[in-house]
Amino acid sequence: MIIDFKHNHSGHCESGATSNLIRHYGLEISEPMAFGIGGGLFFCYFPFIKAQEAPMFAFRTLAGKIFRHATERIGADTVMIKKFKDPVKAMAELDRNIENGIPTGVQVGTFHLKYFPPEYRLHFNFHNVVVFGRENGVYHIGEPVREKTQLLLREDLQKARFARGMFGPNGKMYYIRSVPKQPDMQKAIYLGIHEAVRNMLKNPVPFIGVKGLRKLAKDMKKWPVKLPEDKARFYLIQFVRSAEEFGTGGAAFRYMYGAFLKESAELLKNDLILKASTQMGEIATLWRDLAYRSSRFIKNREESHESYTILSEILQECAAGEERIFKGLAKLNA
């Protein structure tokens, strides 16, 4: 059975899957809107958690949060099953959903998705796709970051849903039962913005939000002094990769968030949000500049102490700009 599901190409996996699923139930919601209402903007830098021997950076909230918050805030009725112990049961549940005509979002690890080129197959367990059809052991996948829908064998999907490693997906799946026709968009948008403000400014942990950006900027200055040359270089590569790869990350998320602010400013006719959207566009351009510069340094192998200092200064500027934007947005009263 193949469900008549309209696949839209998106920039980021989870907000794309969320907006595609909501659109299936008749409410037109764009990808930036889903991202913003879900409160997706985030930054964290954990110097002591190592992934592939480099510190961990994250530019998004935990997997599943964007879907949960976005649907909750527009008042949709959803089901999210966080964990399965038995892969066979998890696949049976998915099959039943498809037989009932419900497109279902699943969290997968990218390592087992055979339709990606080999260079993409990393141990990355936060990927989200929509499954919308099945025939003879082949599943139809609405892969948000691909233009066309993809096909995947049953055993590969099962392996991907139970990918092991850090933060394994454990077969997590989610779907929508119903979406209201006329949701209260103002309330939803305000809640989404306030969550981003909380994440970026008010989290007491010093590695999260603007504080995390400042800490990273400080540490980055010290990398060439404290670490051997190739290690510092690998740290920088990892940072820029996590900021730029997969079309998402630092700059791309800022552009998407700016698009969300712009769209909501037009919807609610709010000057405060409009101003924030222009500022966000400028900061996003700065982030992109940061990525370009670092990749040029890496390419020409001219990382010296000065180049790390330049990057760290740009990062400080980003942090200051984001602090200004979110302090402005905190004045919104819901």
Partner 1 sequence: MEENSDTIWKDGRFGKSREISYYYDQKGQYDKKVEFREDTVKVLVEQHWDVINDRIEEARQKVLTGKASPIVFYMEKTLADPITVSMMSGISLWRVKWHFKPSVFKRLNEKTLKKYADGFNISVEQLKKIQ
Contacts to partner 1 by CB under 8 A: 9-11, 32, 50-53, 111, 114-120, 122-123, 138, 145-147, 151-153, 159, 164-166, 168, 230, 234, 237-238, 240-241, 244-245, 247, 252, 255-256, 258-259, 262, 277-278, 281-282, 284-285, 291-292, 295-296, 298-299
Q: How far is the CB of 109 from partner 1 (least distance, A)?
A: 11
Strands (E), the chain: 41-51, 54-60, 77-81, 104-108, 127-135, 138-142, 150-153, 173-178
Alpha-carbon separation of residue 176 from 17, 88, 132, 250 (angstroms): 12, 22, 13, 29
Q: How far is the CB of 5 from partner 1 (least distance, A)?
A: 18
Q: How far is the CB of 327 from partner 1 (least distance, A)?
A: 21
Output the CA torsion 141→143→148→153 (10° steps): -30
Q: Which residues pair with 108 in a beta bridge?
A: 127
Q: Which residues contact 250 (CB under 8 A, 6 or more apart)?
A: 59, 243, 244, 287, 290, 291
Q: How far apart are CA 77 and CA 231, in angstroms?
A: 48
Q: How far is the CB of 16 from partner 1 (least distance, A)?
A: 9
Residue reference for tokens 């996996």: 13
Please identify, using beta-carbon distances, which residue of 179 and 220 lies nearer to partner 1. 220
Q: How far is the CB of 202 from partner 1 (least distance, A)?
A: 26
Q: For residue 1, give both structure tokens.
A: 């059975």
Residue reference for tokens 């939000």: 209
Please identify, using beta-carbon distances, which residue of 106 and 286 lies nearer to partner 1. 286
Q: Which residues pair with 57 in a beta bridge?
A: 45
Please identify, using beta-carbon distances, which residue of 118 and 228 lies nearer to partner 1. 118
Please identify, using beta-carbon distances, which residue of 57 and 255 lies nearer to partner 1. 255
Please identify, using beta-carbon distances, which residue of 148 and 331 lies nearer to partner 1. 148
DSSP reduced 3-state for 50: strand
Q: How far apart are CA 217 and CA 309, in angstroms?
A: 9
Alpha-carbon separation of residue 277 from 77, 150, 270 (angstroms): 30, 35, 11
Amino acid sitting at position 225: V
Q: How far apart are CA 220 and CA 227, in angstroms?
A: 11
Please identify, using beta-carbon distances, which residue of 60 and 211 lies nearer to partner 1. 60
Q: How far apart are CA 129 and CA 12, in angstroms?
A: 11
Q: How far is the CB of 277 from partner 1 (least distance, A)?
A: 8
Q: How far is the CB of 169 from partner 1 (least distance, A)?
A: 13
Q: How far is the CB of 170 from partner 1 (least distance, A)?
A: 12
Please identify, using beta-carbon distances, which residue of 154 and 198 lies nearer to partner 1. 154
Please identify, using beta-carbon distances, which residue of 252 and 319 lies nearer to partner 1. 252
Q: How far is the CB of 296 from partner 1 (least distance, A)?
A: 8
Please identify, using beta-carbon distances, which residue of 102 and 113 lies nearer to partner 1. 113
